[in-house]
Structure 1
């Protein structure tokens, strides 16, 4: 199984919601959301999974954003009550980030003991897993290392950041194609129930965006050995932040004419190609949404084709 780990920004949530509504995800893919703030987009995304009887994880103690703090505001009372009702549904699994030990609610561990998912990627948090969780969790997301697998032995999912992030988008011009991951080929034989990553975003988190000098579109694809590679389609006129629409056309034209992608027809890739054909710039958030949709749909199709062992 594949557990894509996404922060609850608007376009990440919309990517998940649109995939579920269009029937492009199955039980082979269980997304993990680290909510950033209480919003209707978050609620509607979770409801879409509930209505389609698909599992999704929401982190109960997020380490980024202001979700827990904002939920306490008086004007969020309606959201809070609705959210608590949603959490009762069997489709919604409860995530505990053991790396963020200060915000762990022990009552949640007891209340949702039958549908816990833990995240433990800091060696200092391993004793906390033994103390609070033991063998109770449905899934345990850990780093692929003996330090973790020796002590967290049941229901293991390997969590690794596979996105090779650059400081500037223009830096991707020098690395147009590279290996992304082979975890989907080996996780089962290495004793894991599934694999997890941060999709084409990476684990680094930043609050807001800014006008970039370069626009880069990150698209994954399978090579002839079924390894997942990633292409970085980058604009050429990167000396200033003027004309983002023009920069997008430079980048998307490379995607539209890419030989390795010509036979791939995911929803996300089709939407990107339509932007090229219509000479339309949808905005950076939508571009990211389309790239995420492509990645998750591609992995879903792979896992279905691989059969029961996935």
Structure 2
């Protein structure tokens, strides 16, 4: 079983991945995917960290959620690493995808992300789908019936509150058990957008509450706990709201099993002790690092490779 956690290449997503690569904790069957969204120095630095620490990584060559792909002259290009055997070049299936993009060589693997049924039908008729090393598709019955090769599922498990709701409405809940059910549906790998979700916004959006997200395992089920600030009346005072949320995390974490008390989770909880506000970007980075540290521990125990 392979897990492909899918990241958009924002600054703090990349910093989380770079730190994880340097910790060298990911087993080889956890392979992050980066879809670049900005031409920033952290992108090639992150790719370099995975290459230098002999860990596999996927980079999407034709990103679709930002204007990054339209930038002809990249200041910080990841492509000098494209021939490294640890780097898997990924493509999103679009009407402009060409067969040569998907062909895997003996030394270079490729990955194809297919998001639309109609495009998959066309690619199948053109006999493109056997070329990539890995194929990720939405977990839909009609798509499963269409494919005859080993395939992975790509699903968005993140819940984003709408309208007048907030994360305080569901502070603890189910997140995923894809790796448990994958073989029932014939999947050989699984992928998700981690705690960040599939939605992409170039500039983000304000929130009335500060929420810390921590994934954890209860048996074989991955759950998510949300620590939400009590103050949710307006968009002001993020520092004070952070301290409200992190106080709840600091009270909850010591009662959890050792596997939940990852280095990243402990680093978050320590901000309650020091009463230091690191900024919400650092909070996001540590939450993502915690998720990868959690998944690494679980896969090493249950899917050793």
TM-score, with structure 1 as normaliser = 0.90
The offset of 1:217, in angstroms, is 1.0
Number of the residue aligned with 1:303: 299
Number of the residue aligned with 1:109: 102
The offset of 1:170, in angstroms, is 6.1
The offset of 1:294, in angstroms, is 0.7
Number of the residue aligned with 2:46: 45
Distance 1:68 1:159 in 2: 22
Distance 2:70 2:139 in 1: 33
Number of the residue aligned with 2:25: 24
Number of the residue aligned with 2:215: 220
Distance 1:208 1:261 in 2: 35
Change (3 A) 1:169 1:43: farther
SS in 2 for 1:222: strand
In structure 2, stretches of 5+ residues that fail to align are: none
Aligned length: 300
1:234-253 alignment, distance < 5 Å = 234-253=228-247
Distance 1:249 1:237 in 2: 11
The offset of 1:10, in angstroms, is 0.5
In structure 1, stretches of 5+ residues that fail to align are: none
Number of the residue aligned with 1:209: 204
The offset of 1:180, in angstroms, is 0.5
2:35 touches 2:60 (CA, 8 Å); kept in 1?
yes
1:118 touches 1:141 (CA, 8 Å); kept in 2?
yes
The offset of 1:285, in angstroms, is 1.4
Within the candidate set 92, 116, 120, 1:122 is matched to 116
Distance 2:127 2:290 in 1: 37
TM-score, with structure 2 as normaliser = 0.91
Number of the residue aligned with 2:61: 60
1:236 touches 1:247 (CA, 8 Å); kept in 2?
yes
**What do residues 255-276 of structure 1 show as CA deviations (whole Å, max 9, x unaligned)?**
1111663632222212211212
Distance 2:283 2:91 in 1: 30
The offset of 1:211, in angstroms, is 4.0
Number of the residue aligned with 1:10: 11
Distance 1:136 1:105 in 2: 11
1:137-148 alignment, distance < 5 Å = 137-148=132-143
1:215 touches 1:244 (CA, 8 Å); kept in 2?
yes
The offset of 1:195, in angstroms, is 1.0
Distance 1:222 1:111 in 2: 35
